């Protein structure tokens, strides 16, 4: 089940809200956990076993860590923490990377080892990083151990974030299990944010994706068509993922939780480093807090900093997918971050900002080819098409057909990548004191109607990040 379905909008969500608000405050986590398990099990109930194991194992690990730390038995705490990390990563590695490992070994050695084709459990990368956040926070004393099994279960399974994030760190969510603000204004803000995200996904991302799918299915294409396909996918990915994040954060608000923003207009970044402070913010914060800083961060020699950055970006690539094109994608971004930090740190800031934004966005867009290609050879082939290897010329009839057919949508999408739409909305829909106008209410009702109409008439499209 995903948020952009009629089933979720008109069955699951209303039931969830009714059950949540009719139950006394001190018991409200109970229906949230039960509903979250139903939400997760909808696609494949078998993987509830995996989810249950993750919850029970890491809950017990937290208690053991706390006991060792209270007794100042630091060696036992360290062994417990390392064991938990190994177990969680082995589970993630088996389901996500086992096939990739076997195929790599076969290609290197010439062997013909076989690997079972297992469906990837929904959100395994997200909830694995969530439980690792808990283990690390307890071990480092950044958060108190969670002794309430129900509250810990809610942290891992909460349906607003379990399948595609954002990756909420335990130390940020823990204070909200028992004390969270639930007022009409917050509920209204949550609904508004959810509808904005739904509009991003259904009205913009899915339509961009339809044209991109048509282009990517071509065996050969002109350079212009290939570049157009790259731009369409880059915009689709942003509106798809940021839309999902908006929906997740909005849903969390409806149930009293506050999650931090996951996107901050990343395509307006003036450097690759800034892009990663604006794109998938929760993932970047996770790698910074639990990998980069523990490795030494910036508090060490330049040589060691280079190693730390290389490790982070290699892991970032692997986190996104079990294929060499994802590894290369991570390395690609890592190279530019390293160049900005050590080679261009005095030169790049002197370049006019509009040019820095253009170059950064162009580099990011080019990198997405590695992201959407089914394999490394597929990415190389697509790059070849972009630079004329397809021998179809710069522009052709196919390019003109898809370009002019999607021109209005492209204009809307590019405008939506910046704050101008939000500023217009705030000026039209809010009084100076922050109170909503009737224009705002009517606008959101029309947006919901439009989204529902499109969802009922169009083919279902899942979220792109569900596969990660």
Full DSSP string of 380-399: HHHHHHHTTTT-S-S--HHH
Which among 320, 333, 391, 425 is annotated as catalytic? 320
Alpha-carbon distance 281 to 277, whole Å?
6
422 contact partners, CB below 8 Å, separation of at least 6: none
* Contact between residue 339 and residue 360 where contact means Cβ atoms under 8 Å apart: no
197 contact partners, CB below 8 Å, separation of at least 6: 3, 242, 243, 244, 245, 246, 247, 248, 249, 250
Token pair recorded at residue 212: 């991109």
Alpha-carbon distance 169 to 146, whole Å?
14
173 contact partners, CB below 8 Å, separation of at least 6: 155, 257
* Contact between residue 51 and residue 157 where contact means Cβ atoms under 8 Å apart: yes
Q: Respond yes or no: is residue 320 known to be catalytic.
A: yes
Alpha-carbon distance 422 to 68, whole Å?
50
Q: Count Cα atoms within 13 angstroms, Cβ side, for 379.
A: 18
Show which residues are catalytic: 320
């Amino acid at each position: 089940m995903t948020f952009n379905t009629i089933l979720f909008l008109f069955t699951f969500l209303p039931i969830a809200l009714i059950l949540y608000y009719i139950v006394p405050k001190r018991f409200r986590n109970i229906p949230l956990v039960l509903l979250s398990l139903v939400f997760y099990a909808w696609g494949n109930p078998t993987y509830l076993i995996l989810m249950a194991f993750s919850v029970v194992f890491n809950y017990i690990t937290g208690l053991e860590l706390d006991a060792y730390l209270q007794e100042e038995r630091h060696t036992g705490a360290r062994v417990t923490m390392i064991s938990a990390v190994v177990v969680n990563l082995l589970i993630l590695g088996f389901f996500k990377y086992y096939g990739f490992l076997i195929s790599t070994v076969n290609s290197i050695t010439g062997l013909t080892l076989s690997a079972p084709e297992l469906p990837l459990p929904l959100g395994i990368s997200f909830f694995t990083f969530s439980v690792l956040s808990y283990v690390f926070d307890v071990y480092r004393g950044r958060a108190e151990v969670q002794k309430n099994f129900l509250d810990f279960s809610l942290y891992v399974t909460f349906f607003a974030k379990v399948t595609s994030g954002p990756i909420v760190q335990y130390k940020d969510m823990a204070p909200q299990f028992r004390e969270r603000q639930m007022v009409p204004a917050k509920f209204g803000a949550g609904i508004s944010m959810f509808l904005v995200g739904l509009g991003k996904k259904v009205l913009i991302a899915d339509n961009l994706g339809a044209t991109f799918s048509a282009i990517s299915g071509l065996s050969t294409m002109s350079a212009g068509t290939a570049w157009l396909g790259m731009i369409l996918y880059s915009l689709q990915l942003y509106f798809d993922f940021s839309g999902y994040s908006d929906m997740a954060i909005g849903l969390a608000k409806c149930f009293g939780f506050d999650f931090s923003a996951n996107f901050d207009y990343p395509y307006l970044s003036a450097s690759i480093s800034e892009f990663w402070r604006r794109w998938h913010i929760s993932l970047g914060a996770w790698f910074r807090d639990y990998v980069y800083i523990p490795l030494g961060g910036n508090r060490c020699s330049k040589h060691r900093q280079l190693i730390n950055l290389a490790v982070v970006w290699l892991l970032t690539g692997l986190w996104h997918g079990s294929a060499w094109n994802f590894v290369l994608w991570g390395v690609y971004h890592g190279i530019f971050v390293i160049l900005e930090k050590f080679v261009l740190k005095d030169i790049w800031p002197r370049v006019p900002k509009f040019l820095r934004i253009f170059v950064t966005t162009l580099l990011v867009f080019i990198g997405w080819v590695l992201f959407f290609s089914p394999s490394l050879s597929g990415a190389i082939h697509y790059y070849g098409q972009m630079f004329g290897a397809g021998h179809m010329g710069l522009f052709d009839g196919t390019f003109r057909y898809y370009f002019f057919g999607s021109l209005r949508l492209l204009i809307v999408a590019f405008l939506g990548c910046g704050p101008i739409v939000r500023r217009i909305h705030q000026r039209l829909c809010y009084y100076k004191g922050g109170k909503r106008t009737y224009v705002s209410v009517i606008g959101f009702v029309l947006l919901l109607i439009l989204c529902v109409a499109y969802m009922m008439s169009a083919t279902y499209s899942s979220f792109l990040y569900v596969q990660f």
